[in-house]
Amino acid sequence: MKAKKNATEQRHSDFQVGNEYDAKQLTFAHNTPQMLEDKLKALEKTTQSGKLTIEQVHYHCDRTKDEIGRAVATELHLLENKSEQLNTHLEVITDDHIQSHYEARRDHHVQNQQKEITKRFGILKTLHLQMGAIDDELQIKKKIRENYIDAPLVRSLLNRSYFYFPLIALFALGDSILSFQSMQFLGEGLPNIALLWLTFLVAAGIAVGAHFTGASIAKKQSKPFWISLVVSMFFVAVLLLLRVDVQASLTLSLLNFGFFGLASVISYRRYSTQDYFTLISEIKALENRKAKLESNIASEQAELDAETNALELSVSHWVKEEVAQDTLHNKMTAKNLTKAIEGLNKVLTSYCNRVEIIRRGALANIAARKERKNQKGFSFNIPDFGLSTAIRAMLNIFIVALMVSCSGNKSKDEKPTYAIVIVDLTDEQQKRPDAQTVLTHLGDMNEGEVTLSVISDMHSYPYKNLSLAPASSFLSQVPEEEQNRIANYQKEFITAYNTLPVPITEPKESFVFSAIARSLKAHRDKIRINRKIVIYSDLVQHEKDKINFYQYKDNPEQLMQDYHKILADFRTQYDPEHRIYLWGLEIDVFHTPTKEMDELWLYQQQFYTQFFKDHGARSVQFHPYAPSSNELVQAH
């Protein structure tokens, strides 16, 4: 494994250039972005101190820009050197060079991979050797068959083992029965069991002798013939020696000679053609073995060819993958270096632009200070009442500081605005205006937060919070940056407003009080802010088994008579601790114009005016509003 790893590393060091250039460190080698940010923060702090002149501001800004430029130039120089080194490597290690290298290693790679199919190749080689031996033996036996003299055309029953051996055994059995009966009638003194065994022994000896005698004659083997004949005669002589009655013994011997001769003829007939038919059987067996072996060789050869083709395909893929990997690595490294150089140029431009923004902000502050100093309210000279110059100068400084402090307090009275926009999804007659109209209704905002909420047929919820961050102390003096800040906020508001849920087609309930309660609770803990709620609804509260304004349709006067009861139910459900009270709240309700003709709406206005006043509202205004067709927001 270690050797393999070292080989991989050596290969990569030869054909994958640029490994020493870590992509994560291509931007900064000696200077980090935090160091440059610290320089900008120090410059901003220095220029905003209010103690610098115009020349000093230019000096500090130019010095910081020069320091950042030199730092980035150093990084650019390092990257350009790396890029030149990489280009030098790529001029030598080209795509054709990599391709030729891996093509040259193809045979070596094939030899290493062929170890996996060596076993199958050995099996196939063994099968071919067996096939050669069978072919040689088959040719020899076929040649013997072709040279055979008087070859029989048909295999007789005597050449069938299942017929011949039972026939010989039958002759032996008949001979033994005859011998046993003859010896039983002629002999005396021997027990029957001894006679039985003796007759069986004699019959078996005669049958075996006849079998080998006929086979020896057929095969023209003289020595086996005489041996089998002598053995047979021995058993016949045994019969002659056992009996005194020569005539009976001779008769029995002649009968045994007859059985012997007949069995020898049968054996001769069998073995005179047995060799030929044995040769035929062996040839058939060899042909069957050859056919089976050919099938095995074909199967093994197919497997070997498949594995060889797979190996060639694998090696081709290996060459392509290695070439593609090395080529892609080199190209990506060169591309990363190019992108890093471009990125550093953009970083330098960005930092220089930020320095210029700081410069413009500082110069704008200096100009503003001069303008305030030149204003009449800030130039004050103490008349000469016989006071010394030092006392008059001290009084002048005190009065100017007091006026500047008053001016600063006046500027600090500009509070952020926290507004809530409530859109009714349950009123089919209420047409939702477009986002630009809503921004107009909200009025001018310099700082604050806007919450988008909806009135639904279930408990309402705030949909989106949009923040307008305060202007930076020095960017506020740059008109372009101030315009971008406001434009980004308005763009974010329009995007969020246009993604509000679509109106409900057939609402069963309308939780107006739920939306109002959540809106009143939203900013109750914030102080020194301007609070504002803009509602696009007819404010018809409709909740089953609870507060329902539709029950007052026939008797509108009853709505104001039940005001305290409804207020108590509202606080029980949404404000049990009686903590909702927002001082200085401004309420603007935009309703459909047709409500002006509804008698219940007049009492609803009185109800909600009193309701919002009891929760700290400074003003409650109702505006009939019907947006034009080009102001309607398309349903998403």
Q: What is the DSSP string of 251-304?
A: HHHHHHHHHHHHHHHHHHHHHHHHHHHHHHHHHHHHHHHHHHHHHHHHHHHHHH
Lowest mean pLDDT among 107-121, 143-157, 273-287: 143-157
Q: What is the dihedral of CA 618, 619, 620, 624, to 10 degrees?
A: -160
Residue 281 has pLDDT above 70, yes or no: yes
Q: pLDDT grade, residue 57 (50/70/90)?
A: confident
Cβ proximity of 428 and 503 under 8 Å: yes
CB-CB contact of 634 with 599 (8 Å): no
Residue 409 has pLDDT above 90, yes or no: no
Taken as a whole, the chain contains a residue count of 636
DSSP reduced 3-state for 463 = strand
pLDDT of residue 390: 60
Q: pLDDT-based confidence at 2, cuts 50/70/90?
A: very low
Mean pLDDT lowest for which of 17-26, 420-429, 482-491? 17-26
Question: Which amino acid is residue 471, in one-letter code?
Answer: A
Q: Please give the C-alpha separations between residue 332 and each of 86, 93, 289, 340, in angstroms, as whole numbers.
A: 11, 15, 63, 12
- Which residues, 6+ apart, have CB-to-CB distance to 426 below 8 Å? 455, 456, 457, 503, 504, 507, 509, 510, 542
Check pLDDT > 90 for residue 223: no
E strands along 16-77, which residues?
A: none
Most confident of 146-155, 211-220, 425-434: 425-434
* Average pLDDT of the chain, as a whole number: 71
Write down the pLDDT at residue 270.
66
pLDDT digits (tens, 9 = 90+) for 423-463: 888 876 666 788 888 888 888 887 888 988 888 877 666 67
H-assigned helices in 464-546: 479-498, 512-522
Q: What is the pLDDT of residue 534?
A: 93
Which tens digit of pLDDT belongs to each residue from 334-365? Answer: 777 777 777 777 777 877 888 888 888 788 78
CB atoms under 10 Å from CB of 574, counted, come to 16
Where residue 601 falls among pLDDT bands split at 50, 70, 90? confident
Compute, in degrees rounded to 10, the torsion defined by CA atoms 297, 303, 307, 308. 40
Whether residue 163 is predicted with pLDDT greater than 80 in this model: the reply is: no
- Diameter of the chain by CA atoms? 199
Tell me: the pLDDT tens digits for 180-211?
555 555 445 455 565 666 666 666 666 776 66
The predicted model scores a pTM of 0.39
Q: What's the average model confidence in pLDDT over 311-328?
A: 71
DSSP 548: B
Report the pLDDT value the prediction gives residue 152, as an integer from 0 to 100.
52
With the CA atoms of 204, 210, 211 and 214 taken in that order, what torsion angle do they form, in degrees rounded to the nearest 10? 180
More confident residue, 321 or 189: 321
DSSP 8-state symbol, 501: P
DSSP string of 433-446, one letter each residue: PPHHHHHHHH---S
Convert the pLDDT of each residue in 546-570 to its tens digit: 888 888 888 888 888 898 888 888 8
Task: Specify the 3-state DSSP secondary structure of 627.
Answer: coil
